[in-house]
């Protein structure tokens, strides 16, 4: 085999200076596919040698051929170990897959998927079923890329042994759900720059439910024509990434914020003797001016969520389920919450009938996804009645409380937002 490797290297030297730019298109296409097959054939040969090279690693004191190759070949250890696992799987009992890789009928990425799918089959299905699954997946590889092949691989038992599939699928899902319950984790860590990192692993059913809730908030923003903007607003899109200009992860983050603000705390478990709540402590001067900062307390010491801007506190006081603790000059409590600040369900229904959509000029996000905004701020004594209310989507509601924008009522009843110069 060493002689073959030397011969191949010499042949490659012969084309080292070839410029493919001037090749005809059909020749380029044929060459690309031919070399893809050759790569697969070379990979299979390397894996075949790798599976038999345990003595090489042992002679130099390495734990495995994978660690030896990572060191001498200067490749990532994880990649070398993945190659070793595939090599051992091919050597142990995947003759159809090994032959297909050797002939260039499947590529290395497809081979990993097929080996993984076959390896996931439980021993109780028997070797005859395993062999059928291997052969069928190799056949499917002729028409499917690795991603599609992985989907097919998860249901291969349904194809090769449909009578056994339902029982095995039930077992697999039972095991998966048990593992999900054991592995689920959620971490919330304040970064210290005004953001908090939330990371977690949750069961699929929980993730699906959360995704459904978030899609309810993001779908209107994705629909063509759902948000019509003025030229000034379009420039904001380019600068700030709102609406169509925003990437999917940010859309989901914004939707997550909206979801939490619309959750009814009365339906949450009792927390510390009262309905679950967040208390915002702010001075009267900061609340009325919108300048300064407010202290944030969710009743859990050490979480690190301790400051928000006065502007955000005003917006939350307008529509979110928080308890504002307003302090005077000597830190005496002037007001500890006003439950009447929130619009009732009946008022919300009346607003929806009247406004139907967000009433910002050019915005047609449905009113069911909008928030009820106090035209005269709650912090300035504004009442929670229909004459003092308008439906605004989350984006425009933020602008209504942003000192950088003026909000003007138009003859049509819509509201125009203009950046102050």
- Per-residue pLDDT tens over the stretch 307-328: 566 566 666 656 544 445 555 5
CA–CA dist 156, 143 (Å, integer) = 15
Summarize pLDDT for 371-389 with one digit per residue, the tens: 888 888 765 667 777 888 8
DSSP 245-297: GS-HHHHHHHHHHHHHHH--GGGSPEETTEES--EEEEEHHHHHH--SEEEEE
For CA atoms 94, 99, 105, 108, the dihedral sign is positive
What is the DSSP pairing of strand 371-374 with strand 333-336? unpaired
Q: What is the pLDDT of residue 351?
A: 84
Q: If you ran DSSP here, which 8-state letter would residue 381 be given?
A: T
How confident is the model over 38-61, as a mean pLDDT? 93
The SS3 assignment for 392 reads strand
Give the separation between CA 415 and CA 378, rounded to whole angstroms.
19
Q: Is the pLDDT of residue 194 over 90?
A: no
How far apart, in whole angstroms, are the C-alpha atoms of residue 218 and residue 256?
10
* pLDDT category of residue 44 using cuts at 50, 70 and 90: very high
pLDDT digit string, tens, across residues 239-294: 333 344 557 788 888 778 777 766 666 665 544 333 334 455 666 565 555 555 56
| Tokens 């009522």 -> residue | 409
Buried b vs exposed e over 12-50: b needs ≥16 C-beta within 10 Å?
eeeeeeeeeeeeeeeeeeeeeeeeeeeebeebbeebbeb
Question: Rg of the Cα trace of the chain?
Answer: 31
* Higher pLDDT among residues 280 and 7, named by residue: 7
SS3 content of the chain, % helix, strand, coil (to 5): 60, 15, 30
Bridge partner residues of 74 (DSSP):
none
pTM, two decimal places: 0.50
- pLDDT classification of 304: cutoffs 50, 70, 90: very low
Task: Give the CA diameter of the chain.
Answer: 89
Can you give the pLDDT at residue 321? 47
89 pLDDT more than 90: yes
Region 227-244 average pLDDT: 38
Please name the residue ranges forming H helices in 291-344. Answer: 310-319
CA-based nearest residue to 416, from 170, 287, 231, 243: 231
Q: For 233, what's the count of Cα atoms within 13 Å in the CB-facing half-sphere?
A: 17
Residue 299 is predicted with a pLDDT of: 47
C-alpha span between 216 and 417 (Å, rounded)? 25
DSSP letters spanning 148-160: HHHHHHHTHHHHH
Q: Is the dihedral of CA 248, 249, 250, 251 positive or negative?
A: positive
pLDDT of residue 178: 79
Instruction: Note whether 350 and 386 are within 8 A (CB).
Output: yes
CA distance 113 to 327: 62
């Amino acid at each position: 085999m060493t002689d073959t490797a030397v011969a191949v290297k010499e042949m490659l030297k012969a084309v080292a200076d070839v410029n493919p730019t001037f090749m005809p298109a059909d020749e380029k296409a044929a060459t690309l596919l031919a070399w893809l097959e050759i790569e697969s054939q070379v990979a299979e040969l390397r894996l075949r040698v790798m599976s038999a090279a345990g003595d090489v690693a042992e002679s130099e004191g390495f734990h495995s051929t994978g660690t030896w190759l990572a060191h001498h070949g200067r490749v990532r250890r994880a990649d070398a170990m993945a190659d070793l696992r595939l090599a051992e799987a091919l050597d142990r009992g995947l003759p159809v897959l090994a032959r297909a890789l050797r002939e260039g009928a499947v590529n290395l990425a497809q081979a990993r998927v097929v080996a993984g799918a076959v390896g996931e089959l439980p021993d109780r299905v028997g070797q005859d079923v395993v062999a059928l699954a291997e052969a069928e997946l190799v056949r499917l590889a002729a028409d499917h890329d690795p991603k599609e092949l992985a989907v097919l691989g998860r249901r291969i038992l349904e194809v090769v042994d449909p009578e056994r599939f339902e029982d095995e699928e039930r077992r697999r899902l039972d095991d998966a759900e048990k593992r999900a319950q054991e592995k689920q984790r959620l971490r919330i860590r304040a970064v210290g720059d005004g953001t908090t990192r939330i990371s977690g692993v949750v069961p699929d059913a929980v993730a699906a439910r959360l995704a459904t809730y978030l899609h309810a908030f993001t779908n209107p923003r994705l629909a063509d024509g759902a948000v019509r903007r003025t030229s000034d607003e379009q420039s904001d899109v380019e600068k700030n990434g709102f609406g169509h200009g925003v990437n999917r992860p940010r859309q989901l983050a914004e939707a997550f914020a909206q979801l939490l603000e619309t959750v009814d705390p009365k339906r949450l478990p009792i927390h510390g003797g009262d309905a679950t709540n967040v208390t915002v402590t702010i001075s009267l001067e900061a609340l009325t001016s919108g300048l300064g900062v407010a202290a944030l307390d969710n009743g859990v010491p050490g979480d690190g969520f301790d400051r928000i801007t006065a502007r955000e506190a005003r917006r939350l006081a307008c529509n979110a389920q928080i308890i504002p603790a307003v302090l005077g000059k000597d830190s005496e409590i002037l007001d500890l919450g006003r439950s009447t600040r929130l619009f009732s369900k009946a008022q919300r229904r009346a607003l929806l009938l009247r406004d139907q959509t967000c009433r910002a000029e050019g915005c047609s996000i449905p009113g069911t996804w909008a928030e009820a905004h106090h035209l005269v701020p709650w912090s300035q004594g504004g009442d929670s009645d229909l004459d003092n209310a308008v439906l605004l989507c989350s984006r425009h509601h933020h602008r209504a409380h942003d000192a950088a924008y003026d909000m003007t009522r138009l003859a049509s009843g819509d509201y125009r937002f203009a950046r102050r110069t």
